[in-house]
Structures are given as C-alpha cells and as structure tokens.
Amino acid sequence: MKKILAAVIIILLGAGYFVGNYFVDFALKRGEDLSPPKACASIADPNLKAPPAPNFPVEDWTLESFDGLKLHAKKFSPAENTNRWAILIHGYGRDGTFAYDYAEEYLKRGWNVLVPDLRAAGQSEGEFITMGALESRDIFDWSKKISDANPDAKIILHGVSMGAATTLLAAALEPKNLVAIVEDCGYTSAYEMFTAQVKKLFSLPEYPVMPCANLVCKLKTGVKISDAAPINVVDKIKVPVLFIHGDADKLVPFEMMEKLFDSCISTKEKFVVHGAGHADCKSTNPTAYFKKVFDFLEVTQ
C-alpha cells in the first residue's frame, strides 16, 4: 500500500511539474531565435509594428544585471542639456523600440530619455521574462547608473502594461533621484492577471496550472509569478504616481487600477481613457494622454 501511495505521489508531482513547466515555457520563455514567448501571439497584436526611432542624438548603453546578464538600452538626448530624465519601460513580449513614440514626446519637451530592453527582450540577455519581479531590479540599476553619472538628475519612470507593473515594483525599491511615476494599465499581480486569462487565452484550467506554474517559475528563474505583485508594495511608494487605464481593457481588468490607486498612499492621480482597450490609452487619444502626463509631471517637479 505504501509503495502504491508513493507511486501515486510521484506521478502527481511529475504531472504537476509537466503542467507548470509547459505554462512557464509557453508564457515566459524567450524563443531560441530571440523571439518573444509563444503566448505573446495570444496577448499582443502580432501586426503591431514598432514606431520609427526619434530623430534625436542616440547612443547605446549597457549594464550588467545583479545576476550577470548584459542588458541594453538606447539613450536619446534632447536639443539642450537638462537634468530631467525619463526611463520608458515596454510591455510583455515587446522591446524598447515599442516605446519610441513615447520617447519622441519626452524629447520634444526637453527630456533625456532612456529606453531599455528588459531582460529576455530585444538586445538584452536572458532566457525568461519574470513579469516585473526581476525586471524591477534592473530598472533600479538603470536609474542608479543615471544618478551616478548625473547626481542632479530628476528621474521619472513611465511604463505600459508589464512595464507599468515593473515601474511600481522598481519605485518601491526607492531609486535615488526618482521624482514621479506614470503607470499605464499595470496589473495588481501577474498571478492574478494570468489566473483571470489562463482559460480564455491559453485554453488551460486555472487549477492546477497556476499553482504548478508558480512553483516551476521559482525553480527556473529564482522568483515566482506571484512575486510580480505591485499590489503588495504600492503603499511603500513615496513619490507621486499617475495611474492610467482604459475602461475597456479586457486583459488587465479596470478594477485592478482601482485597487492599486486605493492602496497607494503617496500623492496620486488617475486618468481613465473611455473606450480604450489594453495598452491603447495613448493611441486612443494621444493629445489628451500626453497633456495629462506632462501636466502631472510639471506639477510634481
């Protein structure tokens, strides 16, 4: 009887690992050709092309992450020298080039702009995306690189989707010289977001997929999917935060923004774009979007 029970336990553990491993590789693992994870085709518009690079002076920056990855970013310079810096953080399955249209607006208004490729994206090394859990530490280090080079820098973080979650997680680490945050359609936690979408997007059952995936992610990356949870740290953020969300977002529910906003205890504002889907707030009404962003930043500085 004991042998049968042991065999059943081994089979269940093996099945759990198989299920979790499938999800982690499908949703978080970079392709061998450096393509995004396979799940990106289910979440992101495959026809969306990156905008052209801003017509401003540009240079390549590199950084070694805390765990030995070589990370890459583009640094754009405005027409005149300034201490104002914006770090623009792209979303899931994208790379820094998809933030170029945001960069253009900052540059026209006289900001230095740093556009990183997050780990496992673009020219940055890495095998797995961690939905902000480790990416936030990388953004902290990019911020430190700016502060070390320019002690008078005033840095803002502006992220979209996974980039927004990364922004909140990074801000909770209290980077030096950080003065404000713009988070656009970020989730309360990656675990909750995937749980809400796992059946719809991936045709998989919530249980046991998500608990197994959480554990396998820890084994493969050192962090769990549930560690990417801005809702657990948003009350630690001390700088002003602008929360942006579309009320027609079907990937990251609008209610998640409300929960994040309510939990934030620093100076805060919200900007709701009616009719905008996920990551579409800027494209739905770019004039209103950037007016709100730069009015907010002007006041907070």
Q: Each residue of 144-200: pLDDT tens digit?
A: 999 999 999 999 999 999 999 999 999 999 999 999 999 999 999 999 999 888 877
pLDDT at 265 over 50: yes
Same domain (yes/no): 29, 76: no
Q: Is residue 162 part of a domain?
A: yes
d(CA 251, CA 246): 11
Domain limits for position 154: 56-189+228-301
| Counted domains in the chain | 2
Same domain (yes/no): 122, 134: yes
Q: Is residue 47 part of a domain?
A: no
Same domain (yes/no): 77, 123: yes
Q: Is residue 48 part of a domain?
A: no
> pLDDT band at 269, cuts 50/70/90?
very high
d(CA 195, CA 205): 9
Tell me the average pLDDT across 212-241: 97
d(CA 224, CA 133): 8
| pLDDT (tens digit per residue) in 89-146 | 999 999 999 999 999 999 999 999 999 999 999 999 999 999 999 999 999 999 999 9
Same domain (yes/no): 78, 208: no
CATH number at residue 118: 3.40.50.1820
Strands 58-64 and 241-246, bridge-based pairing: unpaired
- pTM value is 0.94
Q: Is residue 51 part of a domain?
A: no
Q: Is residue 150 part of a domain?
A: yes
Same domain (yes/no): 2, 122: no
Measuring CA to CA, how many Å separate 60 from each of 63, 72, 216? 10, 7, 35
